[in-house]
Protein backbone atom coordinates (compact mmCIF):
# COMPACT_ATOMS: atom_id res chain seq x y z
CA UNK A 1 0.00 0.00 0.00
CA UNK A 2 1.36 3.40 -0.93
CA UNK A 3 2.31 5.83 1.81
CA UNK A 4 0.09 8.41 0.15
CA UNK A 5 -3.01 6.19 0.55
CA UNK A 6 -2.05 5.51 4.17
CA UNK A 7 -1.84 9.28 4.74
CA UNK A 8 -5.23 9.74 3.04
CA UNK A 9 -6.78 7.07 5.28
CA UNK A 10 -5.33 8.76 8.38
CA UNK A 11 -6.54 12.21 7.26
CA UNK A 12 -10.05 10.87 6.60
CA UNK A 13 -10.22 9.17 10.01
CA UNK A 14 -8.82 12.25 11.77
CA UNK A 15 -11.32 14.41 9.86
CA UNK A 16 -8.30 16.49 8.88
CA UNK A 17 -9.65 18.13 5.76
CA UNK A 18 -6.53 20.20 5.12
CA UNK A 19 -4.24 17.17 5.34
CA UNK A 20 -6.49 15.21 2.98
CA UNK A 21 -6.76 18.07 0.47
CA UNK A 22 -2.98 18.55 0.50
CA UNK A 23 -2.65 15.06 -1.04
CA UNK A 24 -4.55 16.13 -4.18
CA UNK A 25 -3.18 18.11 -7.11
CA UNK A 26 -4.66 21.57 -7.58
CA UNK A 27 -6.26 20.45 -10.87
CA UNK A 28 -7.33 17.00 -9.62
CA UNK A 29 -9.82 15.33 -12.01
CA UNK A 30 -12.52 13.12 -10.50
CA UNK A 31 -14.93 10.87 -12.37
CA UNK A 32 -17.52 8.40 -11.19
CA UNK A 33 -18.13 6.20 -14.24
CA UNK A 34 -21.53 4.96 -13.05
CA UNK A 35 -22.56 8.56 -12.20
CA UNK A 36 -21.12 10.67 -15.06
CA UNK A 37 -22.78 13.90 -13.92
CA UNK A 38 -20.71 13.79 -10.69
CA UNK A 39 -17.40 14.47 -12.49
CA UNK A 40 -15.47 17.54 -11.36
CA UNK A 41 -12.07 19.18 -11.61
CA UNK A 42 -10.08 20.82 -8.86
CA UNK A 43 -8.80 20.41 -5.34
CA UNK A 44 -11.18 23.18 -4.25
CA UNK A 45 -14.21 21.06 -5.18
CA UNK A 46 -12.69 18.00 -3.47
CA UNK A 47 -12.24 20.18 -0.36
CA UNK A 48 -15.85 21.41 -0.52
CA UNK A 49 -17.19 17.87 -1.00
CA UNK A 50 -15.30 16.45 1.97
CA UNK A 51 -16.14 19.45 4.17
CA UNK A 52 -19.81 18.57 3.56
CA UNK A 53 -19.19 14.87 4.25
CA UNK A 54 -17.40 15.54 7.54
CA UNK A 55 -20.15 17.99 8.59
CA UNK A 56 -22.98 15.70 7.51
CA UNK A 57 -21.41 12.52 8.91
CA UNK A 58 -19.66 13.69 12.10
CA UNK A 59 -18.54 10.17 13.05
CA UNK A 60 -17.28 9.35 9.55
CA UNK A 61 -14.79 6.48 9.55
CA UNK A 62 -12.92 4.97 6.59
CA UNK A 63 -11.70 1.40 6.39
CA UNK A 64 -9.15 0.44 3.78
CA UNK A 65 -9.64 -3.22 2.96
CA UNK A 66 -6.81 -3.53 0.44
CA UNK A 67 -4.72 -1.39 -1.85
CA UNK A 68 -2.50 -2.25 -4.79
CA UNK A 69 0.01 -0.06 -6.57
CA UNK A 70 0.25 -0.48 -10.34
CA UNK A 71 2.79 1.96 -11.72
CA UNK A 72 1.34 5.45 -11.28
CA UNK A 73 -2.06 4.04 -10.29
CA UNK A 74 -3.24 2.88 -6.90
CA UNK A 75 -6.34 0.69 -6.68
CA UNK A 76 -7.96 0.72 -3.23
CA UNK A 77 -11.05 -0.96 -1.79
CA UNK A 78 -12.83 1.13 0.83
CA UNK A 79 -15.68 1.08 3.30
CA UNK A 80 -16.90 4.50 4.49
CA UNK A 81 -19.13 4.36 7.59
CA UNK A 82 -20.91 6.68 9.95
CA UNK A 83 -24.20 8.20 10.98
CA UNK A 84 -25.59 11.24 9.23
CA UNK A 85 -26.74 14.23 11.26
CA UNK A 86 -30.34 13.28 10.38
CA UNK A 87 -29.79 9.90 12.10
CA UNK A 88 -29.62 7.81 8.93
CA UNK A 89 -26.81 5.33 8.38
CA UNK A 90 -23.97 6.29 6.03
CA UNK A 91 -22.42 3.14 4.54
CA UNK A 92 -20.58 3.28 1.25
CA UNK A 93 -18.37 0.61 -0.27
CA UNK A 94 -16.31 0.36 -3.38
CA UNK A 95 -13.08 0.98 -5.18
CA UNK A 96 -11.06 4.05 -6.06
CA UNK A 97 -8.39 4.17 -8.73
CA UNK A 98 -6.06 7.10 -8.18
CA UNK A 99 -3.38 8.28 -10.56
CA UNK A 100 -0.42 9.60 -8.60
CA UNK A 101 2.30 11.85 -9.99
CA UNK A 102 5.01 13.66 -8.07
CA UNK A 103 3.50 12.57 -4.76
CA UNK A 104 0.00 13.96 -5.44
CA UNK A 105 -3.27 12.41 -6.53
CA UNK A 106 -3.88 13.88 -9.99
CA UNK A 107 -7.01 11.97 -10.97
CA UNK A 108 -9.49 9.54 -9.52
CA UNK A 109 -12.04 7.07 -10.77
CA UNK A 110 -14.45 6.36 -7.94
CA UNK A 111 -16.69 3.32 -7.87
CA UNK A 112 -18.14 4.02 -4.43
CA UNK A 113 -21.78 3.06 -3.88
CA UNK A 114 -24.20 3.28 -1.00
CA UNK A 115 -24.79 -0.13 0.57
CA UNK A 116 -28.02 -1.65 -0.70
CA UNK A 117 -30.37 -2.24 2.20
CA UNK A 118 -32.79 -4.67 0.54
CA UNK A 119 -32.70 -8.42 0.41
CA UNK A 120 -32.58 -8.71 -3.37
CA UNK A 121 -30.97 -11.95 -4.53
CA UNK A 122 -29.04 -12.46 -7.74
CA UNK A 123 -32.05 -13.79 -9.69
CA UNK A 124 -34.07 -10.63 -8.96
CA UNK A 125 -31.07 -8.41 -9.73
CA UNK A 126 -30.56 -10.10 -13.12
CA UNK A 127 -34.29 -9.76 -13.80
CA UNK A 128 -34.22 -6.05 -12.97
CA UNK A 129 -31.21 -5.49 -15.23
CA UNK A 130 -32.31 -7.60 -18.20
CA UNK A 131 -36.03 -8.27 -17.93
CA UNK A 132 -35.32 -12.01 -17.75
CA UNK A 133 -34.79 -14.35 -14.87
CA UNK A 134 -31.81 -16.69 -15.02
CA UNK A 135 -32.43 -20.42 -15.13
CA UNK A 136 -31.71 -22.20 -11.87
CA UNK A 137 -28.52 -24.22 -12.17
CA UNK A 138 -28.64 -27.76 -10.88
CA UNK A 139 -27.46 -27.79 -7.27
CA UNK A 140 -27.24 -23.97 -6.97
CA UNK A 141 -29.42 -21.55 -5.05
CA UNK A 142 -29.80 -18.90 -7.74
CA UNK A 143 -32.12 -16.73 -5.65
pLDDT tens digit sequence for 14-69: 999 999 999 999 999 999 999 999 999 999 999 999 999 999 999 999 999 999 99
Structural domain contains residue 88: yes
Number of domains in the chain: 1
The strand pair at 89-101 and 104-114 is best described as antiparallel
Q: By three-state DSSP, how is residue 125 classified? A: helix
Q: pTM for the complete prediction?
A: 0.86
Structural domain contains residue 142: no
Single out the residue of 100, 4, 14, 113 nearest to residue 62, CA to CA: 14
Answer whether 133's CB lies under 8 Å from 123's CB: yes
**Domain span at 13:** 3-130
Is the pLDDT score of 118 beyond 70? yes
Structural domain contains residue 104: yes
- Give the pLDDT confidence of 60-115 residue by residue, as tens digits: 999 999 999 998 999 999 999 999 999 999 999 999 999 999 999 999 999 999 99
Structural domain contains residue 77: yes
Q: What is the DSSP track for 14-67?
A: HT-HHHHHTTEEEEEEEE-TTSGGG-EE-HHHHHHHHHHHHHHSTT-EEEEEEE
Report the CATH number that the domain containing residue 41 is assigned in CATH: 3.10.450.50
CB neighbours of residue 100 within 10 Å:
20
Structural domain contains residue 93: yes
The count of residues in the chain is: 143
Structural domain contains residue 124: yes
Structural domain contains residue 84: yes
The Cα–Cα gap between 96 and 76 comes to 5
Amino acid sequence: MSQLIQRLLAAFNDHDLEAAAALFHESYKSVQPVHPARAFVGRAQMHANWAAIFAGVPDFHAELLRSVDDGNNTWSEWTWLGTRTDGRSFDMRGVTIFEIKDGLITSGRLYMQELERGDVGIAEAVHTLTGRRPDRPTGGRGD
